[in-house]
C-alpha cells in the first residue's frame, strides 16, 4: 500500500543504503533555494565538488534523496564526467589540491610528460597531479591547472610557486564589459529588430548571402538552420555549444575572454528571429575565467536590459570535463542533467531537441559574427578570402611556430601562408614537416601538401577536414605516428562508451600503436569499422590520424 501511494504521488523509493541525516543537511545548505529539477543535477554535483573537493557516497545518496532520483541515476551521471571525484564507501578522498597537466598535442610536443613526472616527484602528498586532455590553452603549451588557475608555459618552479601561494582561482583578463560594448553601438541591432526597424527575413538573408556556416566543426549553413527551426512548432529553444574540447582549439575562449557581449547579442538576435523562448549556454568546465565573465555580464544584462520588456531567460550551464559533449546531441543530454551520450538521429535537434522541443544549436563563434555581418552587410564578410574561397576564419594555431594564438585570416589561406604571414614563421631550428588542419580529429597532412586552401570541403579529397580550424604545426623534430597515437589515446579516453565500434575500436587501436604494432591490415579493419558503425563523429573521425600516417608518412613505419 505504501509503495502504491508513493507511486501515485510520483515519489521515488530509494532501495539503496539509508540516507545520512547530517549529509542531507549539508546538501540542503549547499542547494539553498535552488530548484531540485532533474536538469540541474550536474549543477548540483558541481556544488558538492567545489565545496568538498570530491563527492562522497553519503553526499551522493543525500543528493539523490533531495532530488527524488534513484541513487543509480545520480551515480551514473557523477561517474560519467572527468571532473567529478566520486569516492566510494571505504575509499580515501583525493588530496585537497589537484593539478591537471595537459598532455594533448601541443603540450606533448613541449614536454608535458616530463613536467608531469617532475611535479609528481617534487610535490608532497597534499597535491594530486593528473594528466588531462586539452584545456584550450594550446598557444601557451605546456599548461598546468592548479585548482582552477591556469599556468601557461608551465615549469616545475612556476607551478610550485603557485601551489605555495595557494593561488588556485582563475584570474579574469581585461575584456569589453557591458557599458563599453553599449557605448560602441552594442545591442542596437537587437533593439532595431525588437522595435520592428529590422526584418527577421532580412537578417536570415544576410547570413545566407554571407555564407556563414557553423564554426564548431560541422559547417552547416547558419541561415538555413534558422529557417528550419523557426518553422517548427513552439516552444523553441536556443542551445549554445561552448564545449570547446577539440585538441588544438581555443578560439571560443579567446573571444569570450575579450568581447563576450558580441556573442551574447548574436544569441539574442538568433532567439528573436527564430522565436526561441529561452537560451541555454553550455560552457566547458576548463574555462573558469570565461564562466566568471559570463556570470558577471549576464547579471548586468538582466539588470539593465538593452530592450525594455523583452529578454528571454538565459541559463548558463557548466560542463564537467567530457569532450563528447561537444557533439550537439550529447550536449543536449548534459544540459538535461544526464550522461553526455549522443542520440540516434533522426529525429534531429531542429525537430526534437532540448526537453523534447525544436532547438537551434550553434557554436559560440557562429553567433559572434552575426552582428558584424548584419550591420556591415554580407558583402563585407565575403570580401575576404583567398584561392577562390570567401569569408573569414579564426584559426587556433599552436605547435612549432613563433607566434601561436588565434589568428583571424581569410578563408582559403594555406597553412604555409598562415605560418609565414600570421605566425612569424617556424621556431628557430625547426623546419615545417606536417600539420593537423582541424585538430586531433581532422587528420594529418605533410608539408608537401601545405598549399591546400584551408576551408570547408577543400580538405575532403585528402582524407582530412578543417573542423573548428585548429591548426597544429609540427616539425622534423616530431613524428606523425607519435602524434597520431596521442590523438587516438585521447579518443579512447573520451569515448562515451555507448557504441562498441568506438569504445573497443579506439582502445584496440591505441594498444596496437603503443606497442609498435602498425600492422596495416588490422588497423585498416579497425578504422573501417569505427568510421562506418560509430554513432557519432568521435568514433567516425578517430581513424583519420591513423589513415593519414599510412598515406602520407609511411617512411616513419619502416624498419
For the stretch 249-289, pLDDT in tens is: 999 999 999 999 999 999 999 999 999 999 999 999 999 99
CA atoms within 13 A on the CB side of 209: 15
pLDDT for res 335: 98
pLDDT for res 10: 52
Q: Is the peptide bond before 347 cis (omega within 30 degrees of 0)?
A: yes
The whole-angstrom separation of Cα 195 and Cα 327 is 35
Q: In this model, does residue 8 exceed pLDDT 50?
A: no
Q: Extract long-range pairs of 373-376: CB within 8 Å, 24+ residues apart.
A: 373/206, 373/207, 373/210, 373/212, 374/189, 374/198, 374/203, 374/206, 374/207, 374/269, 375/185, 375/189
Residue 400 DSSP label: S
The whole-angstrom separation of Cα 512 and Cα 505 is 11
- Residue in the structure block whose three cell numbers are 562508451: 497
Q: In this model, does residue 2 exceed pLDDT 70?
A: no
CA 549 to chain centre: 26
Q: How confident is the model at residue 218 (pLDDT cuts 50, 70, 90)?
A: confident
The whole-angstrom separation of Cα 38 and Cα 89 is 25
3-state SS class at 131 = strand
Instruction: Find the mean pLDDT for residues 72-98.
Output: 96
Q: How confident is the model at residue 126 (pLDDT cuts 50, 70, 90)?
A: confident
The whole-angstrom separation of Cα 15 and Cα 17 is 7
Q: What's the grid cell of residue 155?
A: 615549469
DSSP E strands, 276-426: 276-283, 314-318, 359-363, 392-399, 405-410
Q: In this model, does residue 245 exceed pLDDT 50?
A: yes
Instruction: Find the mean pLDDT for residues 187-203.
Output: 96
3-state SS class at 278 = strand
The whole-angstrom separation of Cα 456 and Cα 540 is 18
Q: In this model, does residue 80 exceed pLDDT 90?
A: yes
Instruction: Find the mean pLDDT for residues 148-154.
Output: 98
Task: Name which of 479, 462, 476, 480 is nearest 549 in CA terms.
Answer: 480
pLDDT for res 125: 80
Q: Is the peptide bond before 346 cis (omega within 30 degrees of 0)?
A: yes
Cα distances from 471 to residues 150, 163, 219, 346, in angstroms, run 22, 32, 17, 32
pLDDT in tens, 399-448: 999 999 999 999 999 999 999 999 999 999 999 999 999 999 999 999 99
Q: What percent of the chain is predicted at pLDDT more than 70? A: 97
- Read out DSSP for 3-70? HHHHHHTT-----SSPPPHHHHHHHHHHHTT----GGGHHHHHHHHHHHHSSEEHHHHHHHHHHHT--
Residue 99: in which H helix or E strand, if any? strand 97-102
Please tell me the pTM assigned to this model.
0.95
The whole-angstrom separation of Cα 553 and Cα 546 is 10
List, in sequence order, the alpha helices (H) in 471-518: 480-494, 500-514
Q: In this model, does residue 141 exceed pLDDT 70?
A: yes
pLDDT in tens, 322-372: 999 999 999 999 999 999 999 999 999 999 999 999 999 999 999 999 999
3-state SS class at 407 = strand
The whole-angstrom separation of Cα 289 and Cα 129 is 21
Q: What's the grid cell of residue 539?
A: 568514433
The whole-angstrom separation of Cα 454 and Cα 416 is 10
Residue 185, Ramachandran bin (φ over 0: left; ψ between -120 and 50: alpha; else beta): left
3-state SS class at 343 = coil
pLDDT for res 14: 53
The whole-angstrom separation of Cα 447 and Cα 554 is 14
Q: How close are the terminal C-alpha atoms of the chain, in Å?
A: 74
Judge contact between 333 and 340, C-beta under 8 A: yes
Q: What's the grid cell of residue 83?
A: 571532473
- Read out DSSP for 227-269? HHHHTSPSPEEEEEEE---STT--HHHHHHTT-HHHHHHHHHH
pLDDT in tens, 10-25: 555 555 678 999 999 9
Judge contact between 539 and 530, C-beta under 8 A: yes
How confident is the prediction for the chain on average, in pLDDT?
95
Q: What's the grid cell of residue 269?
A: 538576435
Please give the backbone phi and psi of residue 347, each rounded to the nearest 5 degrees, phi first: -75, 155
Q: In this model, does residue 3 exceed pLDDT 70?
A: no
Judge contact between 174 and 508, C-beta under 8 A: no
Instruction: Find the mean pLDDT for residues 499-512.
Output: 97
In sequence order, the β-bridge partners of residue 362 are 240
Task: Name which of 342, 355, 338 is nearest 80 in CA terms.
Answer: 338
Instruction: Find the mean pLDDT for residues 446-459.
Output: 97
The whole-angstrom separation of Cα 151 and Cα 396 is 19
Amino acid at each position: 500500500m505504501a509503495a502504491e501511494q508513493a507511486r501515485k504521488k510520483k515519489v521515488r523509493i530509494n532501495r539503496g543504503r539509508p540516507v545520512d541525516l547530517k549529509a542531507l543537511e549539508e546538501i540542503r545548505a549547499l542547494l539553498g533555494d535552488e530548484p531540485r529539477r532533474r536538469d540541474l543535477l550536474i549543477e548540483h554535483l558541481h556544488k558538492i565538488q567545489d565545496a568538498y573537493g570530491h563527492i562522497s557516497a553519503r553526499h551522493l545518496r543525500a543528493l539523490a534523496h533531495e532530488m527524488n532520483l534513484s541513487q543509480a541515476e545520480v551515480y551514473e551521471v557523477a561517474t560519467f564526467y572527468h571532473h567529478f571525484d566520486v569516492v566510494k564507501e571505504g575509499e580515501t578522498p583525493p588530496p585537497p589540491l589537484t593539478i591537471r597537466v595537459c598532455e594533448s598535442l601541443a603540450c606533448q610536443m613541449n614536454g608535458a610528460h616530463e613536467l608531469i613526472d617532475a611535479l609528481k616527484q617534487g610535490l608532497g602528498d597534499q597535491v594530486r597531479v593528473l594528466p588531462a586532455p586539452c584545456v584550450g590553452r594550446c598557444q601557451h603549451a605546456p599548461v598546468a591547472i592548479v585548482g582552477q588557475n591556469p599556468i601557461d608555459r608551465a615549469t616545475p618552479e612556476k607551478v610550485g610557486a603557485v601551489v605555495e601561494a595557494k593561488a588556485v582561482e582563475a584570474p579574469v583578463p581585461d575584456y569589453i564589459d557591458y557599458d563599453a560594448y553599449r557605448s560602441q553601438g552594442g545591442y542596437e541591432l537587437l533593439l532595431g529588430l525588437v522595435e520592428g526597424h529590422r526584418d527577421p527575413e532580412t537578417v536570415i538573408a544576410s547570413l545566407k548571402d554571407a555564407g556563414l556556416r557553423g564554426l564548431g566543426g560541422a559547417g552547416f549553413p547558419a541561415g538555413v538552420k534558422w529557417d528550419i527551426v523557426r518553422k517548427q512548432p513552439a516552444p523553441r529553444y536556443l542551445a549554445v555549444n561552448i564545449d570547446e574540447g577539440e585538441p588544438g582549439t581555443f578560439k571560443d575562449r579567446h573571444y569570450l575572454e575579450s568581447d563576450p557581449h558580441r556573442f551574447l547579442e548574436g544569441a539574442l538576435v538568433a532567439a528573436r528571429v527564430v522565436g526561441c523562448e529561452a537560451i541555454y549556454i553550455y560552457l566547458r568546465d576548463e574555462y573558469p575565467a570565461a564562466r566568471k565573465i559570463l556570470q558577471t555580464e549576464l547579471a548586468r544584462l538582466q539588470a539593465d536590459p538593452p530592450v525594455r520588456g523583452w529578454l528571454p531567460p538565459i541559463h548558463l550551464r557548466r560542463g564537467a570535463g567530457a569532450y563528447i559533449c561537444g557533439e550537439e546531441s550529447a550536449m543536449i543530454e548534459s544540459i538535461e542533467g544526464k550522461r553526455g551520450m549522443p542520440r540516434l538521429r533522426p529525429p534531429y535537434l531542429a525537430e526534437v531537441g532540448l526537453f523534447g522541443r525544436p532547438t537551434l544549436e550553434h557554436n559560440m563563434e557562429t553567433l559572434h559574427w552575426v552582428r558584424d555581418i548584419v550591420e556591415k552587410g554580407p558583402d563585407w564578410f565575403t570580401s575576404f578570402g583567398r584561392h577562390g574561397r570567401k569569408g573569414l576564419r579564426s584559426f587556433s594555431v599552436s605547435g612549432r611556430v613563433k607566434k601561436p594564438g588565434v589568428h583571424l585570416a581569410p578563408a582559403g589561406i594555406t597553412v604555409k601562408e598562415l605560418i609565414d604571414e600570421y605566425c612569424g614563421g617556424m621556431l628557430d631550428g625547426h623546419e615545417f614537416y606536417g600539420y593537423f588542419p582541424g585538430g586531433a580529429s581532422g587528420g594529418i597532412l605533410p608539408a608537401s601538401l601545405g598549399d591546400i586552401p584551408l576551408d570547408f570541403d577543400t580538405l575532403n579529397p585528402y582524407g582530412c577536414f578543417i573542423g573548428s580550424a585548429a591548426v597544429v604545426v609540427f616539425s622534423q623534430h616530431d613524428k606523425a605516428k607519435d602524434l597520431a597515437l596521442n590523438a587516438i589515446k585521447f579518443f579512447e579516453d573520451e569515448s562515451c562508451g555507448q557504441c562498441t565500434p568506438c569504445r573497443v575500436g579506439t582502445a584496440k587501436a591505441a594498444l596496437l600503436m603503443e606497442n609498435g604494432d602498425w600492422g596495416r591490415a588490422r588497423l585498416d579493419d579497425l578504422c573501417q569499422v569505427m568510421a562506418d558503425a560509430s554513432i557519432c563523429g568521435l568514433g567516425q573521425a578517430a581513424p583519420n590520424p591513423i589513415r593519414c600516417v599510412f598515406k602520407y608518412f609511411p617512411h616513419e613505419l619502416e624498419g
